[in-house]
Structure 1
Amino acid sequence: MDDVALAPRNATHGVIAVWAVSLVAALVLGFTLPAEVRTGWILIAFGGIVLLSFAVQLSYARPQGFIARVSASVGGALLLMGLVSAAFGISALAAAL
């Protein structure tokens, strides 16, 4: 009897999920924290996002493309969190003028 190989799950969903979590985390921290402590907490959240990215990609149990998927997750999260931080920084500068 031939064993039918199951189609692997699409790992792209994990990358997009990490991006969504990073965007939500950055927005929540940006709106709830004062500007003096916001940067430190964004950095802590990014560390958690890196760990989340590893956990999500390890849960797929597919070694093919693991480094590419993790780097896409972390790179996209860094870009999103950086853009949100820059937007909050620009708004704080505009409010100070």
Structure 2
Amino acid sequence: MSIPGLAPRGGFGGIVAVWVAAAVIAVVIGFVAPPDWRAAWMPVGLAGCIVLAFVVQFAYGHAEGFLRRVAASALGAMAVMGLIGLGLGLASMFSA
């Protein structure tokens, strides 16, 4: 007789954590980078978010749904950074 396995934890917390990290990174880039270099630093920040997504999902330790969780983390981070980047671009167009 074998002992049943524990129910896996929900992976949504790790996905949202990467989205929050993407928002923080985009805002930091908006404040620190000069306006001419913001667009160049956003892909670097996104690359860091993708690495963070892999690290968070590896730490989760559950193989089932790994690619789906990493994809959701990466696509959500891209959407968050894209919206913040759009806001930064619009703000730089209309600022004097």
Query: Quick check: TM above 0.5?
Result: yes
Aligned counterparts of 1:69 and 1:92: Cα–Cα separation in 2: 34
List runs of 5+ in structure 2 lacking aligned partners. Answer: none
Partner SS for 2:41: helix
Alignment coverage as a number of residue pairs = 96
Percent identity between the two aligned chains? 38
TM-score normalised by L of structure 2: 0.91
- Report Cα offsets for 1:42-71 as digits up to 9, x if no partner: 111111111110111111121111111111
Partners of 1:13 and 1:6 in 2: CA distance: 18
Structure 1 unaligned segments of length 5 or more: list them.
none
- TM-score of the pair, normalised by structure 1: 0.90
Mean CA deviation greater in 78-87 or 30-39: 30-39
Moved over 6 A (4+): none
> What residue in structure 2 maps to residue 74 of structure 1?
74
Let me know the Cα RMSD of the aligned residues: 1.3
Q: Distance in 1 between matches of 2:73 and 2:86?
A: 20
